[in-house]
Structure 1
Amino acid sequence: MNNPVASLKVRLGRYGIWSAGLRSEDPDRRSELDESAAELEELGFGALWLGGNSSAANAAPLIRATKSITVGTSIQSIWQHEPADAAAAFAELEASHPGRFLLGLGVSHAKFADQYRRPYAALVGHLDALDAAGVPAERRVLAALGPKNLELARDRAAGSIPYLVTPEHTAYAREILGEAPLLAPELKVVLERDPARARSVARGYLAMYLSLPNYTNNFLRHGFTESDLAGGGSDRLIDAVYAWGDENRVRERIAAFHAAGADHVALQLVDESPRDTLPREAWRRLADLLA
């Protein structure tokens, strides 16, 4: 297959795992992390997406611990990683494990970056520097939500990895991207059948994100109201950005993203455990229901 983005879509497959825990730098957890990555590959997931402000250094051990699965950053903040350093790390990993690493980039949030100014212009400049340093456009993806960044993802990257979105946003993003670029939204999954308990777990996890204007403004652009954002999120909002319930309901919710235009869905298991937990039993359950 000569088209590199089309080849990337094949390698990623339909499902991946998004995890903040997999990016841990705790040396005492190294064995657990490596075993988890290897098991996820065996379970048939096509990609591991490292949550938080992750980098090639976080991806490298997981790539060494597996055979062929793609490992991507979701996301590497442009404010906290200089383009020259990112390019050098990309080149080193590409030399040792060709084609295994995907550089996911984004502007993060003003709350997390004191230098946050003119984020679109800063992202364009960062991409210019990566071009000059030799990082191929087809080996990077952007965490794009709004139209201008989605156009950048179309024109200067392999595509988009939007976080905390709905099937409606996925359809909107696909329209801007066109057919060829990769569209790989993240989707949170709560493996809980009871509606009250599932939504309670979901709200507890969502609370932090509802303090970040990049996400809340995106919700408001796509039909939600201020009342949907209050109190940890309305039932309507929770049900839009989570897959929860029995196996059929979870499958149907994931399928809605594919039907809206997603090539690949990055699935994040959410429960009441700490955010850096590796939910290995839940990952096995998820693999079974997707089989």
Structure 2
Amino acid sequence: MTTSAKESVGRYGVWSVELRSEDPARRGELDEAAAELEELGFGAVWLGGNSTAAQAAPLLAATRRLVVGTSIQSVWQQDPATTAAEFAAVEAARPGRFLLGLGVSHGPMVKDYRRPYAAMTGYLDELDAAGVPAGRRVLAALGPKMLGLSRDRAAGAIPYLVTPEHTARAREILGGRPLLAPEFKVVLESDPARARETARAGLARYLELPNYTGNFLRLGFTEADVTGGGSDRLVDAVFAWGDESRIRERVAAFHEAGADHVALQVVTQGTGDSLPREQWRTLAALLA
């Protein structure tokens, strides 16, 4: 019997753009990092950015039980037939270990962006016709309509850049059965000024995207919170920072609000595409 998405991912995962690199020279490094994440106890790796099943395949081959998901593959990124073919290949090779995370991206990032909800439902229709099971896909949902679609036509939701308050609202819409796996950013720094500086550098690009700022306003933040680099109130809500006890409490708040799994993204002052492996080890130790 195939394990459900909720059962397979465990309580914690790692969200990473860097792990989706397709540079052949880095293949060994990426595979080794994925294997270590599995040994550290993380149940899933979420490939950030516009990721695909094809990018997940090597990480699945390098591990034994780790689930790998896309967070996200944009519905504007490639046609459903190609997505279905890639899913079928990965599923045949590593049954039950890949989750197809889909989203509608953002207007400023997509040419001819239009009717995102209709685009998603149409995409799911074509995946259904191609035999991609609803139980192996999850949706990047923020608003009520997309959360409802996550409940009705997917295994659950993977909301990005959210708070425990959003998680509580999402759980009410989803009900108890679907997977709810929010992403949450962590800065392993206890000094408030340095932590917030690092957080703001990571937050800046998201404050230019109306899907996120609109969601913050729905959650009770103000226009002042989402301008000027983000208020301390906003930064402190969407990033965990502080000592180990404080970070542990912030992550636990998502589970207490109804999350099944939390996808943790380590944010650092570093540049480039280096892997934050030491920070992943620290995070695993404090959550153990």
When the two structures are superposed, what TM-score results if normalisation uses the length of structure 2? 0.98
Is the contact made by 2:136 and 2:154 (CA closer than 8 Å) also made in structure 1? yes
- Note the alpha carbon deviations across 1:177-222, whole angstroms, 9 max, x for none: 0010000000000000001110110001100000000000000111
Is the contact made by 1:150 and 1:177 (CA closer than 8 Å) also made in structure 2? yes
1:9 is displaced (CA, Å) by 1.8
Residue number among 222, 225, 228 corresponding to 2:222 in the alignment: 225
The code of the aligned residue for 2:34 comes to A
Distance 2:46 2:117 in 1: 23
1:81 is displaced (CA, Å) by 1.4
3-state SS of 1:248 partner? helix
Kindly indicate whether residue 167 of structure 2 is the aligned counterpart of residue 195 of structure 1: no
Distance 1:274 1:189 in 2: 16
3-state SS of 2:146 partner? helix
- Note the alpha carbon deviations across 1:38-83, whole angstroms, 9 max, x for none: 0000000000000000001110010011111000000000001110
Is the contact made by 1:189 and 1:243 (CA closer than 8 Å) also made in structure 2? yes
Report 1:1-291 matches (<5 A).
7-274=4-271, 276-291=273-288
Is the contact made by 1:79 and 1:115 (CA closer than 8 Å) also made in structure 2? no
Is the contact made by 1:20 and 1:275 (CA closer than 8 Å) also made in structure 2? no
3-state SS of 1:164 partner? coil
- Note the alpha carbon deviations across 1:230-278, whole angstroms, 9 max, x for none: 1211111011101111000000000000000000000000011126321
Distance 1:114 1:187 in 2: 28
The code of the aligned residue for 2:90 comes to L
3-state SS of 2:259 partner? coil
User: Which segments of 5 or more consecutive residues in structure 1 lack a partner in the other structure?
Assistant: none
Distance 1:275 1:111 in 2: 23
Distance 2:69 2:222 in 1: 33
User: Which segments of 5 or more consecutive residues in structure 2 lack a partner in the other structure?
Assistant: none
Is the contact made by 1:189 and 1:268 (CA closer than 8 Å) also made in structure 2? yes
Is the contact made by 1:192 and 1:246 (CA closer than 8 Å) also made in structure 2? yes
Is the contact made by 1:251 and 1:289 (CA closer than 8 Å) also made in structure 2? yes
The code of the aligned residue for 2:163 comes to T
3-state SS of 1:141 partner? strand
Distance 2:224 2:193 in 1: 19
3-state SS of 2:227 partner? helix
The code of the aligned residue for 2:274 comes to T
3-state SS of 1:219 partner? helix
* Count of residue pairs brought into register by the alignment: 288
Is the contact made by 1:76 and 1:105 (CA closer than 8 Å) also made in structure 2? yes
What is the percentage of aligned positions where both structures have the same residue?
Answer: 73
1:110 is displaced (CA, Å) by 1.1
- Note the alpha carbon deviations across 1:127-161, whole angstroms, 9 max, x for none: 00000000000000000000000000000000000
3-state SS of 1:281 partner? helix
3-state SS of 1:49 partner? strand
3-state SS of 1:102 partner? strand
The code of the aligned residue for 2:23 comes to D
3-state SS of 2:250 partner? helix
Distance 1:36 1:219 in 2: 34
When the two structures are superposed, what TM-score results if normalisation uses the length of structure 1? 0.97
- Note the alpha carbon deviations across 1:21-51, whole angstroms, 9 max, x for none: 0001111111110010000000000000000
Is the contact made by 1:170 and 1:185 (CA closer than 8 Å) also made in structure 2? yes
3-state SS of 2:28 partner? helix
Is the contact made by 1:150 and 1:176 (CA closer than 8 Å) also made in structure 2? yes
